[in-house]
């Protein structure tokens, strides 16, 4: 795959690459270039944890190219490099199994361009791609630990040294996954790696030493990445994604019928020449590895040794059952009883693991075919399936040409799991229906041709063995052609233009610290303009903020996961300094509209307060239409102040030191509560700045979501800062673990004297 160059970005416009990666990366690494590690993002959701949100992946080494290269080129380079690395680690894993080099190369190439890996580019799932890249290396380390434990010739000391090296390699792979930033892929990889390690240990070892070595991989990797992991887990305790409702968690499960995408990638549409009409979205619902690799995988089921296969079929079945999610009873059990499982939606993300074990079987099968040819039963099966697919493709193609009334429309109507396609394409009488029909016919016919061609090559190879390499080449051609067909690009110039236009408008109208609100896919345009937006598109939104927004929009809280932006301009949003709503018009220019809300300033002294038992009571009190946030602040514990009688509590000024630090100066004439109209987090602290000032300041939630600091009468000068306590502790653990790994590797590499 070639880089798209400096002018185009590998992804589709309006998807995750533009919300938020294209804006996150230049902002974060621009600050890092100045020596500033961004801990708090003030530009989205009214403020949220940034470094602790995992997604920006500021300490992921492969993201450091953004320190040196233009954003567009750096993104394309990162994508290309990780596609290559996913194939390289798969190649190394199959080499370790003792397979022939040609089989290992085939496995690496097929995995690189498989549907579960390559289609991450389509939606711009950058941190998904960078995280899953290291999975084959985790499994290689598990195999290495077990195989080193069984090796005899070098002696016990050498076995220990080899195991140590494999454990450290596994730790590095786990740490890189954590630094890469997609928590769900980390969690799913850990589930399957733990299962795989246990099954292999029971079958091949049962030694306590080997079990301890395997158990060291994940804790060790967590310690290597502790600076990110500990900070992220601490930040996660305040987000609303620490346990989502069952219906949300059950969404985006892998549809069982999509197993057919293993060899028919366009059966339900390909998103390019025909619309996708299956369930959910094809970018996460495709298992495609190609017809020839699929047939070779069938050969691998009954070929090779137990070591080369090493439970690949079992693990593939386990992964697919987990990927089916809410379509099986197992999902409910895991949701209720497996800690952490209920924090995610989209069990379809398991499918990259299914593809990984499938390509291992492909390599095993090709290794067998190189020795003894393709079994006759596989050839016969390929011929039968090919003929059936060609016949089905012809029938559906003829039906499409006549309007789809004979097969297409009745089939969609008869299968309830395609109700969306039936409603959107057929009942609405959209032309897209017949386009989708033609795409399905084309996919069936293409699959039939590939089955027949592979069978023909396999038959010919029984007489002239070198033709088996043509079968492998055909498999590589399949996946690379599909990848090229599915590889989108977009021009990022409009994104820069929109941010520039928004910044110009805000400057010309004296917006200052006022906030704006937008809808997807423009929720990060404000970040590009260094403006403050109430919305965003990542899971780091704070739980308090999610519940507050749900109140203003009359939503259930879980709707935050799936909604595309605000629908109601509630008067309460003025409390968050909302002044403008913006969108991008059909002419490609930013359209800004004033909201006419009563907007609070960035900071104010509020003379009165009410103390309510908890957050829920505060939210209920905010429903009162007579509530005036300029005069009364709602607190959740006693501020320890005497109530004032004056309506003029004093003056306050603030100065931004960085994204996560604010200097505050207040002249308070009567006891009052300082209200800062930015998101509250328990990690915000206030520290006096004047020499000799030993006063302590409490930062509390005000009006549920804002920062409230009770102040006695007098002069106050302090710094309000976001300080996650887990960061320095995690940094110390990471440093110590790096040092320990270096010592272990040096010790393992030092020659031992013979006894």
pLDDT in tens, 110-130: 999 999 999 999 999 999 999
Percent of the chain with pLDDT over 90: 78
Query: 126-143: per-residue pLDDT in tens?
Result: 999 999 999 999 999 999
Residues in the chain: 755
pLDDT of residue 305: 85
Residue 753 has a pLDDT of 56
Say yes or no: 250 and 337 in one domain: yes
Q: Are residues 240 and 343 in the same domain?
A: yes
Residue 437 lies in a domain: no
Q: Which among 489, 524, 553 is the end of a domain?
A: 489
pLDDT at 398 over 70: yes
- Mean pLDDT computed over 355-362: 97
Burial 507-531 (b: 16+ CB within 10 A, else e): eeeebebbbbbbbbbbbbbbbbbeb
- Per-residue pLDDT reduced to its tens digit, 672-711: 999 999 999 999 999 999 988 889 999 999 999 999 999 9
141 and 277 co-located in one domain: yes
Kindly report the three-state secondary structure assignment for every residue of 389-434: HHHHHHHHHHHHHCCCCCCHHHHHHHCHHHHHHHHHHHHCCCCHHH
735 belongs to a structural domain = no
Band of residue 752 on the pLDDT scale cut at 50, 70, 90: low
Kindly report, residue by residue over 245-282, the tens digit of the pLDDT: 888 889 999 999 999 999 999 999 999 999 999 999 99
Angle at 469 between CA 467 and CA 472, to 5 degrees: 125
Range of the domain at 580: 495-594
Candidates 179, 188, 183, 190; CA nearest to 228 is: 179
Alpha helices in 134-245 (DSSP H): 135-150, 156-180, 183-204, 208-224, 226-236
Which pLDDT value is given to residue 155? 57
| pLDDT confidence bin for 754, thresholds 50/70/90 | low
**Residue 345: which of 317, 325, 321, 328 has the closest Cα?**
325
Indicate whether 427 belongs to any domain.
Answer: no
Q: Please tell me whether residues 554 and 695 are part of one structural domain.
A: no
The predicted-structure confidence for 305-320, as pLDDT tens digits, reads as follows 888 899 999 999 999 9
Give the pLDDT of residue 3: 47
Quote the mean pLDDT of the chain. Answer: 92
pLDDT of residue 2: 43
pLDDT band for position 334 (cuts 50, 70, 90): very high
Q: Can you give the pLDDT at residue 557?
A: 77
Tens digit of pLDDT for each residue in 540-585? 889 999 999 999 988 887 767 667 678 888 999 999 999 999 999 8
Average pLDDT for 66-86? 96
Nearby residues of 288 by Cβ (< 8 Å), 6 or more positions away: 114, 115, 116, 261, 262, 263, 265, 479, 482
Do residues 572 and 638 share a domain?
Answer: no
| Helices vs. strands in the chain: H and E counts, helices first | 27, 18
Pair (564, 645) in one structural domain? no
Residue 49: strand pairing partners: 40
Same domain? For 244 and 188 the reply is yes
Of 571, 594, 617, at which residue does a domain stop?
594
Q: Residue 546: inside a domain, yes or no?
A: yes
Averaged pLDDT for residues 376-387: 96
The answer to whether residues 585 and 610 belong to one domain is no
Number of domains forming the structure of the chain: 3
Same domain, 475 and 501: no
Q: List Cβ neighbours of 248 (8 Å cut-off, separation of 6 or more).
A: 345, 558, 561, 562
How far is 728 from 431, CA to CA, in rounded Å?
59
Residues 565 and 644 reside in one and the same domain = no
Q: What is the mean pLDDT of residues 220-248?
A: 90
Please, which pLDDT band fits residue 485 given cuts at 50, 70 and 90? very high
Asked which of 534, 569, 594 is the last residue of a domain, the reply is 594
Residue 638 pLDDT > 90 = yes
Domain membership of residue 303 (yes or no) is yes
* pTM (two decimals): 0.94
In this structure, are 56 and 200 located in the same domain?
A: yes
Q: Is position 583 within any domain? A: yes
On whether residue 407 sits in a domain, the answer given is: no
Instruction: Let me know if residue 428 belongs to a domain.
Output: no
**Mean pLDDT calculated for residue range 490-519:** 93
Q: What is the pLDDT of residue 151?
A: 65
568 and 633 in a single domain? The answer is no
What's the whole-number mean pLDDT along residues 350-361? 97
- Over 60: is that where the pLDDT of 156 sits? yes
């Amino acid at each position: 795959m070639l880089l798209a160059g400096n002018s185009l970005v590998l992804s589709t416009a309006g998807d995750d690459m533009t919300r938020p990666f294209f804006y996150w990366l230049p902002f974060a690494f621009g600050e890092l270039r100045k020596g500033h590690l961004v801990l708090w993002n003030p530009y989205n959701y009214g403020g949220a944890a940034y470094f602790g949100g995992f997604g920006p992946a500021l300490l992921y080494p492969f993201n450091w190219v953004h320190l040196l290269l233009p954003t567009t080129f750096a993104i394309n380079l990162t994508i290309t490099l990780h596609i290559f690395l996913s194939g390289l680690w798969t190649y190394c894993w199959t080499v370790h199994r003792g397979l022939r080099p040609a089989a290992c190369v085939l496995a690496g190439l097929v995995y690189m361009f498989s549907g579960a890996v390559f289609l991450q580019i389509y939606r711009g799932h950058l941190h998904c791609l960078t995280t899953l890249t290291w999975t084959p290396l985790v499994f290689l380390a598990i195999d290495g630990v077990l195989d080193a434990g069984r090796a005899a010739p070098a002696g016990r000391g050498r076995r220990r040294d080899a195991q140590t090296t494999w454990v450290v390699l596994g730790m590095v792979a786990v740490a890189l996954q954590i630094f890469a930033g997609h928590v769900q892929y980390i969690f799913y990889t850990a589930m399957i790696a733990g299962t795989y390690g246990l099954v292999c240990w029971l079958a091949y070892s049962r030694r306590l030493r080997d079990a301890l070595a395997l158990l060291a991989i994940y804790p060790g990797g967590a310690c290597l990445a502790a600076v990110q992991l500990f900070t992220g887990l601490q930040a996660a305790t305040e987000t609303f994604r620490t346990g989502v409702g069952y219906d949300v968690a059950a969404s985006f499960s892998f549809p069982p019928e999509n197993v057919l995408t293993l060899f028919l990638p366009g059966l339900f549409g390909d998103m390019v020449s025909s619309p996708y009409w299956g369930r959910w979205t094809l970018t996460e619902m495709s298992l495609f590895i190609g017809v020839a690799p699929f047939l070779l995988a069938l050969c691998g089921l009954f070929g090779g040794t137990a070591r080369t296969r090493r439970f690949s079929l079992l693990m593939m079945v386990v992964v697919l059952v987990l990927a089916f999610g809410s379509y099986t009873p197992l999902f409910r059990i895991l949701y209720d009883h497996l800690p952490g499982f209920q924090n995610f939606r989209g069990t379809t993300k398991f499918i990259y693991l299914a593809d990984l074990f499938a390509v291992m079987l492909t390599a095993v099968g090709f290794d067998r075919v190189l020795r003894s040819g393709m079994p006759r039963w596989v050839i016969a099966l390929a011929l039968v399936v090919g003929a059936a697919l060609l016949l089905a493709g012809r029938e559906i193609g003829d039906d499409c040409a006549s309007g789809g009334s004979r097969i297409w429309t009745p089939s969609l109507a008869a299968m309830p799991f395609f109700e969306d396609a039936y409603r959107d394409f057929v009942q609405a009488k959209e032309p897209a229906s017949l386009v989708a029909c033609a795409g399905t016919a084309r996919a069936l016919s293409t699959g039939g041709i590939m089955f027949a061609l592979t069978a023909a090559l396999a038959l010919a190879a029984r007489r002239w063995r070198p033709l088996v390499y043509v079968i492998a080449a055909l498999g590589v051609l399949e996946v690379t052609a599909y990848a090229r067909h599915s590889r989108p690009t977009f021009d990022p110039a409009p994104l820069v233009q929109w941010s520039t236009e928004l910044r110009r408008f805000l400057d010309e109208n004296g917006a200052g610290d006022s906030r704006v609100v937008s809808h997807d896919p423009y929720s990060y345009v404000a970040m590009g303009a260094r403006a403050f937006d109430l919305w965003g598109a990542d899971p780091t939104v704070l739980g308090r903020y999610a519940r507050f927004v749900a109140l203003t929009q009359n939503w259930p809280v879980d709707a935050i996961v799936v909604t595309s932006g605000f629908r109601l301009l509630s008067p309460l949003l003025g409390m968050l300094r909302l002044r403008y709503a913006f969108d991008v018009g059909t002419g490609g220019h930013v359209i800004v509209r004033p909201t006419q809300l009563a907007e609070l300033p960035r900071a104010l002294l509020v003379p009165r307060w009410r103390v309510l038992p908890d957050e829920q009571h505060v939210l209920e009190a905010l429903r009162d239409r007579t509530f005036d946030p300029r005069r009364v602040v709602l607190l959740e514990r006693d501020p320890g102040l005497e109530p004032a009688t004056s309506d003029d509590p004093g003056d306050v000024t603030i100065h931004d030191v960085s994204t996560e630090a604010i200097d505050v100066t207040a002249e308070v004439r009567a006891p009052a509560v300082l209200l800062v109209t930015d998101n509250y987090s328990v990690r915000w602290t206030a520290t006096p700045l004047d020499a000799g000032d030993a006063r302590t300041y409490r930062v509390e939630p005000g009006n549920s979501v804002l920062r409230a600091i009770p102040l006695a009468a007098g002069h106050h000068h302090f710094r309000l800062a976001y300080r996650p306590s887990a960061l320095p502790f995690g940094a110390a653990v990471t440093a110590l673990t790096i040092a320990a790994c270096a010592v272990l590797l040096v010790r393992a590499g030092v020659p031992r004297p013979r006894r």
